[in-house]
Structure 1
């Protein structure tokens, strides 16, 4: 499927299911939806991506409470579909991707994972690299899909390995929360989608 056809299908889909999607977040036309997170201040918006992957949790035994051990996600370039000037798409894009399990033929921009030391890492395949630390988190607003992970603001962790990007927001989350208790020992992988807004 060509990218243009995929984008047209996405626009049509969003228009036809808008009543069933989460309610819009309060969005400033010039910046990322914050929902109480700190503003990016003097940083400039570099990329907007759709992240699709899993939030991962460790279970020590059946009945135990899952412990977060990071996430793994592919990052798709959504800058042409989502932007501060196209705020009408912002509240629903990750929810659509999560619900339909598709990312509408968007090109891959990079990948997100946690290092062995537990460092949130973002590799934008030559366009940027961010070794991050969490600065702030807020619960996903009530309009999001239930069991959605927190919204986050992360910045460069100062190790000197980040390039071209200094901060990222995880917003408009869909899914990703663990079960209340583990059914067995091992790793639980919970699907999620989110928008990642990169600043530099």
Structure 2
């Protein structure tokens, strides 16, 4: 795997859990690049998401002001927007819902674009609303790479289709090709 990116950010909603699990399971156990996952989930119900995403590696929900570290997989905490600040620390935000969601994929992608620029990889998966599309466009505009799940393979195509409609320069890939891209096997 190449170290093309300083961060990999994956956003998804309905229908994305199985895909995220496949991606995480395919990553090498000692990947240097931090992975940030933003999933839409119910706000006022106890969540077992980190257990559902069980993989060979530990997944943690970051605390406010915690540094983004190599070798780590982070999951946006339930009912908080997850942002990355200029110092490459996390910020938890409890402001209004964005695209009916908190955490908002758009807000995380946007902050990642601002901080990491061309060293950011954003991946947008299955979902039933357009959250993430505008943020993925910001990653691409900042020189980073944007990938969407092929809408024909998504359980809910609205999210990846919205990004394809909004953004020039995003790659539309199957799940297998997304994994191959992350691993540096395809450009």
As a proportion of its length, which structure holds more helix? 2
Please, what TM-score do these two structures have when normalized by structure 2? 0.26
Higher-Rg structure is: 1
As a proportion of its length, which structure holds more strand? 1
Please, what TM-score do these two structures have when normalized by structure 1? 0.25
Higher normalized contact order (CA 8 Å, seq sep 6+, divided by chain length): 1
